């Protein structure tokens, strides 16, 4: 089974801090994604990556950046955390290649609180 592991289940940070959320997948997937989940807003895509060192903006990239130095690891960075970034963050991965789109495999999520 694919396993997507997010390094922290809960995080509490202060406004202005630099925050790193780490995600590792063990199935050699090409694609990796960061979503945030807020009540009533579903899942919104922040950034995604389809290869090492490649990154693309999603729908709400402002205030975030990402890093993918190795295929299995995709990091989300909050350069200067703000209270409106308090949310549940979900990492996902999927196999790439061809026109057949594979389903997403999700981690357990990181609940970030910015005070």
Partner 1 sequence: AQKVTQAQTEISVVEKEDVTLDCVYETRDTTYYLFWYKQPPSGELVFLIRRNSFDEQNEISGRYSWNFQKSTSSFNFTITASQVVDSAVYFCALSETTNAGKSTFGDGTTLTVKP
| Residues 6+ away with beta carbon under 8 Å from 46 | 34, 35, 36, 58, 59, 60, 61, 64, 66, 76
Shortest Cβ 3–partner 1 spacing (Å): 11
Using CB under 8 A as the criterion, what x/- string covers residues 41-60 for binding partner 1? xxxxx--xxx-----x-x--
Stretch that binds partner 1, among 14-22, 26-34, 63-71, 72-80 (CB under 8 A): 26-34
Can you tell me whether residue 16 is helix, strand or coil? Answer: coil
User: What residues line the site for partner 1 (CB under 8 A)?
Assistant: 30-31, 33, 35, 40-45, 48-50, 56, 58, 90, 92, 94, 96, 99-109
């Amino acid at each position: 089974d694919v396993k997507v592991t997010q390094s922290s289940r809960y995080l509490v940070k202060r406004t202005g801090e630099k925050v790193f959320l780490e995600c590792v997948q063990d199935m050699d997937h090409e694609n990796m994604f960061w979503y945030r989940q807020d009540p009533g807003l579903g899942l919104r895509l922040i950034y995604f990556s389809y290869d090492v060192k490649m990154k693309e903006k999603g729908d709400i990239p402002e205030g975030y950046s990402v890093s993918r130095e190795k295929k299995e690891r995709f990091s989300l960075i909050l350069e200067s955390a703000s209270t409106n970034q308090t949310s549940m963050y979900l990492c996902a991965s999927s196999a790439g290649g061809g026109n057949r789109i594979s389903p997403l495999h999700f981690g357990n999520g990181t609940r970030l609180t910015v005070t």
